[in-house]
Structure 1
Amino acid sequence: MERFDVAVVGGGPAGSAAAHAAAESGASAVVLEKGVPRADRPDRLGPDSTDAAGILDYWVDIMDIHPDEMPDDVVLSTLDRAEFIGPNESLILRETGFDTSYDHFGFCMHRARFDDFLRNRAETAGAEYRVNVSVRDVESDRDGSPRHTVRLASGEDIEADFVVLADGPQRQVTNKVLDRFLPFDITDRLATTKVNHIAYQEHRRLPEAVARDVEGAIKFWWGYMPGHTAYPWIFPNDDNVARIGLTMPIGMDLSDIEAREKYELLRESDERIPNGKEYIRRLLEQEYGDEYDIEADFPIVEGRGKSKGTETYAISSTRPIDSPTDVGIAVTGGAMGATSAFHEGGDHVAVRTGAIAGELAASGDLSTYNDRWKAAIGDEVRRNVAFADVVRGYGPDDWDRGFAAARKMMESSSDKLFDLNMGTVRAGLSVGRVATQYKKAKYKSRSDKYVQLSEDEYAYADS
């Protein structure tokens, strides 16, 4: 039976970052990745690699990997702004308001190439990366040596002193492992259909004039489709191609939607929530249908994305969880819920949490992991949790009021997103109300109150 210091379940950004950090610190590390065939990775199996793949300037520093370190073909376009579009109000953001080492507003990247870069980086440091390997289970003995036996679908076993769970927001292995250390059913907190959003995107080639208009901008439409943090987007890539997609909660019932006639992407004839493909068609028809034939002038680029130019994937839409570090397990990235529907994923927090877990596992002591990841990404998580709480229950009219207020705030703060310490009285009462709501929501998440499963809830008696 093979034995490693660190076994990593999942080979995406968090898993590869964990393996790199562990190997660089001198530990033996192995990544176990089931491998998914993708049109944009034709010669190599790898992780699922599905998200909108955009990084803001200050996320570069959270991730702690600068684009200059990446191969030239990873970054597809640089960004200079974000456009937020409501039914009748909109705003343009040109600064995030953070001091950062990156010179642009952000960038869009080729996610599969990014994952391959992280894999190569881990292998160069000395980690093993095994593909076409499915993990069936992880059995743990708190006092054993080693403490963990990773059971593979092939019937083989791998022993490890530490396990890093990095299997993404669907948590196919993570939930099974954590369930043994909890006095309640894990699905009470982490049922996939309740704590995730579903996302869908298409890679489409844009007409020249539209590509010029979109160049440098990530665009989001809020209040156009129902659901908490549900919205479509456009992310520009290269060669006039853009990712056009959306995210929405899983399992919404159209009969529960109030004032459905106000949502631009719903139709009176709808009997159920439209699927992603239909939503995108309606968005493009609304924005460009007067001038273009959508199917002819915005063709899907079939050689990109996961399959035939399209991708469907899960995104964490809940608060993060602590890890049972006392038994030598760290949960990272999407599996811990650190990614976010507001991020369209969250490669930066996945990489950072993975790196922290790998470093500590190599040192032989994971006890500070939960404190370390909170110190590294806690402010980022609090912002997302606060924004999500503020907009919970928003309809189209609420988004218009919010954008109008946000535009006034930005006019008082040099177009910076997170600087709410501006002259709200000068900007008006509505602005002060929005700022106050955000500050209250953020205050409620102070310390580690944004964590939905804390370390002290784990019980190790049977481990």
Structure 2
Amino acid sequence: MEHVDVAIVGGGPAGASAAEHAAAHGAETVLFEQGVPREDREGLGPDSTDAAGMLDYWIDIMDFDYEEIPDEVIHRELEGTEFIGPSSRVRLETTGIEASYPKFGYTFHRARMDDWLHERASDAGADLRVGTGVKDLETDLSGVETSHILTLANGDKLEATHVVLADGPQRRITLNALDQFLPVGKSVSDHLSPPKANHIAYQEYREFPEELFAEFEDTLKFWWGYMPGETAYPWIFPNDGTVARVGLTMPIGMDLEDVAHPESYKLLKPSDDRIPQGGEYIRRLLELEYGDEYDIEEDIPLVEDRGKSKGTETYPISSTRPIDSPVGANIAVAGGAMGTTSAFHEGGYHVAVRSGKIAGRLAATDGLEHYNEVWKRAIGDELLRNIAFADIVKDYEPDDWDRAFDVVSGMQSSSDEGSILGKKYSAGVGATKILGAYKKRKFKYRKGRYVQLREDEYVY
């Protein structure tokens, strides 16, 4: 049976980063990626689907020098973002967080970015087996050293000393692999079952008229309070030329009967007898915003040689809190598989890359016992921000979003430096309430309490 030092399941940003750093630190490393086809990639690759936007400080979280990222990866440099409510809106031109990147951020070609990470891993000496899936992982703790047996899709088996699970929000291998270390009657699915722990995202690549594209060519646009559901919103991300990704995220399996006031949402109609599908939501958004001047299908057509299939793609995105890894069994879980990505900000490429880098380095140097504490130091502040804000807006309805955006506008106008945080008293009662709620949530989750499955709950 083949044996390696480090086996990595999944070839997305977390898996590829883990492979690079494990190999760079001298470990015999193999990465397994089942591979999917895309219209904009030759051959198979990871499931490269998300809105693909990068904020300035996220590059620092990834631990990259922004100048080393290839030019062909980046679509558009951004000057800001616009949040649009039913009757109020606000524009932000700073994240308020110190960063090395000089702009607000950029949009990027997700498949090219993933492929670049694969190139880095290969150059470091990792064995990348794209097109080879893993169907099972069993761990033997009875010997002097821990042993993991991976069963591949073709029936072959491989033994590894350390394993990094980076199989994304679907967690096809992670759930069963971690259940080995929980007491009888408990399951990782209680925390990370995809239908409950994930949202579903859908997006289309559309070509816009030049004069219309110019209105948002350097801006991310988000519509809040237009569709029901926790962390449910559509967006537009400008890409290359005059192509933009128009997409949305929403809870899985939501029922219209669960919506308290369906008449208050602009993307619902009185004739709806169920929650619209993603494509219908997108058409309604485009008609609402641009239908008075443009024929949507004629003037803003799908770009069918982009995306996963004919200009569209549907994908899961984590919408939960992270878990610790069973490091006592020499297993690290990284990226979306561990719940670090967030539907609140449409993804988490940056935290996936960083957690993968940490997992790969520690696996290669026999230091996985420190993984849970190290990733918390590296990305804990970012997770805490996202979880706290997602909690605050969990039950927001359209009017709540309008009030929030009005408050943010007031906070901006009261700040000499254009920063939102730190001006709670000069911005009025509304700002004080929002910042007070934010601090309350952060206090609730302090010292890593945002972790929903702790290391000490595993049994070896």
Instruction: Give the TM-score, by structure 2 length.
Output: 0.98
User: Could you tell me whether the CA contact under 8 Å between 2:137 and 2:148 is conserved in 1?
Assistant: yes
2:146–2:330 contact (8 Å) kept in structure 1: no
How far residue 186 of structure 1 moved from its aligned partner, in angstroms, is 2.4
| Structure 2 partner of 1:343 | 345
Partner of 2:64: 65
Instruction: Provide the residue aligned with 1:374 in structure 2.
Output: 376
**Structure 1 residue 415: Cα displacement:** 6.7
Q: Deviations over 1:12-41 (max 9, x none)?
A: 000000000001111111110000011010
SS at match of 1:313: strand
* Structure 1 residues 35-434: aligned runs within 5 Å: 35-41=35-41, 43-144=42-143, 145=145, 147-183=147-183, 184-414=186-416, 419-422=420-423, 424-434=424-434
Residue range with higher mean Cα deviation, 429-438 or 61-70: 61-70
How far did residue 411 of structure 1 move? Answer: 2.2
SS class of match (1:225): coil
Distance 1:349 1:432, change over 3 A: same
Please state how far the C-alpha of 1:240 moved relative to its aligned partner.
0.3
Which whole-Å CA distance do the structure 2 matches of 1:360 and 1:48 have between them?
Answer: 26
SS of 1:73 mapped into structure 2: helix
Quote the offset at 1:68 in angstroms: 2.1
Distance in structure 1 (CA, Å) of the matches to 2:342 and 2:436: 23
Aligned length in residues: 457
Q: Distance in 1 between matches of 2:165 and 2:417?
A: 39
Whether 2:457 is the aligned partner of 1:457: answer yes
Superposition deviation, residue 114 in structure 1 = 0.4
Structure 1: where are the runs of 5+ without partners? none
**In structure 2, the residue corresponding to 1:51 is in which secondary structure?**
coil
The Cα shift of 1:71 comes to 2.4
Q: Give secondary structure in 1 for the equivalent of 2:7.
A: strand
Matched residue type, 2:9: V
CA RMSD of aligned residues (A): 1.1
Q: Structure 1: how far apart are the matches of 2:412 and 2:382? A: 20
What one-letter code is carried by the residue in structure 2 that aligns with 1:170?
A: Q
Supply the distance in 2 between the matched residues of 1:266 and 1:32 (Cα, whole angstroms). Answer: 42
Q: Give 1:113's aligned amino acid.
A: R
CA deviations 1:309-354 (Å, max 9, x no partner) are 0000000000001000000000000000100012311110000000
Cα deviation digits, residues 235-288 of structure 1 (max 9, x gap): 000110000000000011101101111100000000000000000000000000
AA in 2 matched with 1:304: R
Task: State whether residues 146 and 329 of structure 2, in contact with CA within 8 Å, keep that contact through their aligned partners in structure 1.
Answer: no
Contact in 2 for aligned 1:322/1:336 (Cα 8 Å): yes
Q: Deviations over 1:114-165 (max 9, x none)?
A: 0000000000000010011110111111243451111112111111110000
Deviations 1:418-458 (A, max 9, x none): x5221x23221111111111111111111111111111111
Are the aligned partners of 1:67 and 1:75 in contact in 2 as well (CA < 8 Å)?
Answer: no
CA spacing shift, 1:47–1:415, aligned 2, 3 Å = farther
CA distance in 1, matches of 2:77, 2:459: 47
2:5/2:162 contact within 8 Å kept: yes
Give percent identity, aligned residues only. Answer: 60
User: What whole-Å deviation, never above 9, does each CA across 1:141-195 have from its counterpart, x for those lacking one?
Assistant: 1243451111112111111110000000110110010111112022222211110
Counterpart of 1:249 in structure 2: which amino acid?
P
